[in-house]
A and B are shown apart, each in its own frame.
Chain A
């Protein structure tokens, strides 16, 4: 599978080099403005993962694994999920009538509505979710790429 290890033609590699950055920035925009416009953690996370997938498709899997090794993606995955849970639990302690998932930042520092710094814990939760979704999708994609599907006779494997 040549294109898996060595990547595609130089034209594709050059053009994708320009486009990757745009995709990444667009994904981050979707995540950060998730409380104002449609998007949010899920959609933004998927777009960020697609930037990494484009890298792997164009340059081959070694390049992809050099930029984001598998164990780092696994750790980021857990870190994202734990961050989300910590934000939720902090709402219980905040003492402002605390309960699970309470939006304690919005109660303490309400920004102007409809600006970037306004909705309290929601942008932070969006970032945590985007981290988790992006790393999960990247790990799933790499697993499906790296799996060498070879059929062995049932008598031969132990």
Chain B
């Protein structure tokens, strides 16, 4: 099913966050995870043979109600994408600063804090 593909994408992202050692690859894993959840949310609103949820002068309200896909998840995903963008920008900035301080992108070398 289509939802299984979303789950597979989520697991790929999770694998990237957990296993990979390079900072940038961890960031990419995080982005993939967020994209997987966003795709999942949009797919929830799907209706078979649906039309886009845009009302205009020529659209009849009863046809709209009977056939359009759910617009609420699309609004949620818009917000979630922007939040993901903000987090990504901050993560990349911190990763660059970490390189400046430690000289390496390898997360196993960046272990000043112990215990």
Contacts and interface: CB of A to CB of B under 8 A. Distances in A.
> Do A and B touch, yes or no (CB under 8 Å, in the complex)?
yes
How many B residues are at the interface, by size bracket? 10 to 19
Contacts of A144: 92-93, 96
A128 to B, nearest CB: 15
Contacts, number: 32
A114 B54 CA distance: 11
A127 to B, nearest CB: 17
A1 interface: no
Interface string B80-98: 0110000001001100100
Contact of B57 (A114, A140, A154): A114
B62 interface: no
Interface stretch (A22-30, A65-73, A145-153): A145-153
20 contacts: A37-B54, A38-B54, A40-B78, A42-B81, A43-B78, A113-B57, A114-B55, A114-B56, A114-B57, A140-B93, A143-B93, A144-B92, A144-B96, A147-B96, A149-B96, A149-B100, A151-B101, A151-B102, A151-B103, A152-B100
B15 interface: no
Contacts of B56: 36, 114
A150 B55 CA distance: 53
Given A42-B78, A144-B93, A151 B55 contact: no
Contacts of B82: 42, 133
Nearest to B81: A42
Contact of B99 (A38, A143, A149): A149
Given A37-B54, A151-B101, 8 more contacts: A36-B56, A38-B54, A140-B93, A144-B92, A149-B96, A151-B99, A151-B100, A151-B103
Nearest to A36: B56
Interface of A: 36-38, 40, 42-43, 113-114, 133, 140, 143-144, 147, 149-152, 154
Contact of A140 (B54, B89, B99): B89
B67 to A, nearest CB: 18
A74 B2 CA distance: 43
Interface string B41-67: 000000000000011110000000000
A150 B92 contact: no
Contacts of A113: 57
Contacts of A152: 100
Contacts of A151: 99-103
Contacts of A154: 101
A36 B89 CA distance: 30
Nearest to B78: A42
